[in-house]
Amino acid sequence: MEDSSDGNVDPTSMPEPAEEFVQHIYPRARTAFMYDRAGPWPQPAPDHPMSMAAEVLHPPQVEQDDWKKHAGRNYMWTMLTSIPGAAWNSLTHGRVNDMSDEVFAELLTTTIYSKYMRLADPAELDPCFTEVLGEVSGAAEYYTIDFTPVQDIKTYEGVWVSPTITLVARDEEGGKCKALAIRIGHLEGTGSDRHWENIAVTPEDTDAWTLAKYFVMQGAGHVTTLSGHPATHFPYDTVNAVTKSAVPMDHTLFKLLFPHLRLALAVDHAVLEGGSSVVSETRGEIYAPYSGPGSSVRVLVAAGFVGYPHQLATYDPSPTPSAAHPKWEYPLSPRAIDIPSDFGRVLRAYYFTVKDFVREVVEEILAQKDTKKGKEELFFIRRWARYIAHWLPGFPDGDRILELDENGDPWLVAAVTGYIWDVSVAHSLDHKNFYSLRPRRTPFRVRLPPPSSRKIDKVKLRSICNGWDLFKSTLAFDMFFQPHNVVVLQDAEYGFEGPKLKEAVANFQKALVATEEKLKADGVNVKNYIELSEIATSIQY
Contacts of residue 326, defined as CB under 8 A and 6 or more positions apart, other chains included, come to 307
* Cα dihedral across residues 171, 172, 178, 179: positive or negative: positive
Query: How many Cα atoms occupy the beta-carbon half-sphere of 511 within 13 Å?
Result: 19
27 touches 376 (CB < 8 A): no
pLDDT reported for residue 15: 44
pLDDT (0 to 100) of residue 89 = 77
Q: In angstroms, what CA-CA distances link 365 with 151, 300, 373, 452, 469?
A: 49, 40, 10, 62, 54
Strands, E assignment, 93-154 = 117-119, 141-146
| CA torsion through residues 480, 482, 484, 488, sign | positive
Quote the pLDDT of residue 11. 44
Q: Could you give the dihedral angle defined by the CA atoms of residues 278, 283, 289 and 290, in that order, rounded to the nearest 10 degrees?
A: 80
Report the pLDDT value the prediction gives residue 7, as an integer from 0 to 100.
Answer: 40
Helices 237-246 + 372-389 axis angle, to 10: 140
Q: How far apart are CA 426 and CA 539, in angstroms?
A: 10
Nearest 5 degrees, angle CA 349-CA 351-CA 352?
A: 75
CA atoms of 433 and 450, how far apart (whole Å): 28
Residue 327 region, left (φ>0) first, then alpha (ψ -120 to 50), else beta?
beta
pLDDT, residue 240, reads 98
Residue pair 333/421 in contact (Cβ under 8 Å)? The answer is no
Q: What is the 3-state secondary structure (H, E, C) of 353-394?
A: HHHHHHHHHHHHHHHCCCCHHHHHHHHHHHHHHHHHHCCCCC
Which residue type sits at 143?
Answer: Y
Domains of the chain in sequence order: 11-79+229-432+482-534 (1.20.245.10)
Residues 6+ apart with CB under 8 A from 235: 53, 54, 305, 328, 330, 392
pLDDT at 145: 98
Q: Which residues contact 103 (CB under 8 A, 6 or more apart)?
A: none
pLDDT in tens, the chain (541 residues): 444 433 444 444 444 444 444 556 788 999 999 999 999 999 999 988 999 999 999 999 999 999 988 877 777 788 888 898 888 878 775 567 789 999 999 999 999 999 999 999 999 999 999 999 999 988 889 999 999 999 999 999 999 999 999 999 999 877 899 999 999 999 999 988 999 999 999 999 999 999 999 999 999 999 999 999 999 999 999 999 999 999 999 999 999 999 999 999 999 999 999 888 888 766 678 999 999 998 899 999 999 999 999 988 999 999 999 999 999 999 999 876 689 999 999 999 999 999 999 999 999 999 999 999 999 999 999 999 999 999 999 999 999 999 999 999 999 999 999 999 999 999 999 999 999 998 888 899 999 999 999 999 999 988 999 999 999 999 999 999 999 999 999 999 999 999 999 999 999 999 999 999 999 999 999 999 999 999 999 999 9
